[in-house]
Amino acid sequence: MSQRTLPETTFARTVLGSGPGLAMAHGAGSSFAGTYGPILDGLAAGHTVVGIDYPGSGDTPRSTTPLQLDDLADQLVAAAVTEGQETFALSGYSLGGLVAMRAAARHPERVSALVLTATLPHIDNRLVLALSIWRKLAETDRGLLAEFLTMMALGVDALEAMPREQLQQIVGFSVASIADGTPEHAELAPRADVRDDLARIKAPTLVISTTQDWFTSTRLHRQIADGIPGARLAEIPTGHLPMVERPEEWQKLITDFLAQHNA
């Protein structure tokens, strides 16, 4: 069906549930389970969920060469097709949003709907600085990286409502969950730019804007919604981690939109 030849699937993948296909792309420095874990049962209740792990995440070995956005996008589509899904919805979070947008632009015949959360069409200056710190700390001091990510990723409401003991527990969990391939993910992000892809995306699209986000600003969320024809913008009052702060609300936004479009 797609005009592009798909590659052999080489990334580790997870398949859950039954029903219409839903292929999912995770965030940088994380994994499929790390990004979507709190909402997977709800999504799999009505969909065949196919998630990939980028190189250096989950069970996928680290790459010895720089990552390429086209490769991640094609691997996401190939994984879904390999699991018997000729057409499917796509969901992308953060860096995974760029992966999903590139996949939707490269393989439009396969994509029935697109849901993008806390993502961006290209990096801005704030993220240039944040990614530089992120990459250096991933290579030298994961404990300090976990503190930096916790400070940056949680919304102000969630962060200030958290007792100090719980805050330290979150930092400790973050240390353990940092993907080995984080430096490569952080290196890819400044090179990833989908601005030219936006107008070519034909699938019904929901852009979920995380309104307290220090990593990806609401300005960038709106730029995506304005650039994709007919895209809808929804807001959720969280930082960069809706799966931590408001998982039920996040899941409902996704499943309601997919249901509206029979995807």
Residue 12 tokens, joined:
């580790």
Could you tell me which of 128, 109, 173 has the C-alpha nearest to residue 147? 173
pLDDT in tens, 3-34: 789 999 999 999 999 999 999 999 999 999 99
CA atoms within 13 A on the CB side of 21: 22
pTM of the model: 0.96
User: Would you give per-residue pLDDT tens digits along the chain (263 residues)?
Assistant: 447 899 999 999 999 999 999 999 999 999 999 999 999 999 999 999 999 999 999 999 999 999 999 999 999 999 999 999 999 999 999 999 999 999 999 999 999 999 999 999 999 999 999 999 999 999 999 999 999 999 999 999 999 999 999 999 999 989 888 999 999 999 999 999 999 999 999 999 999 999 999 999 999 999 999 999 999 999 999 999 999 999 999 999 999 999 999 99
Phi, psi of 215 (to 5 degrees): -85, -55
Computed on alpha carbons and rounded to an integer, the radius of gyration of the chain in Å comes to 17
User: Can you give the pLDDT at residue 2?
Assistant: 47
Q: Which domains does the chain have, with CATH numbers?
A: 13-125+182-260 (3.40.50.1820)
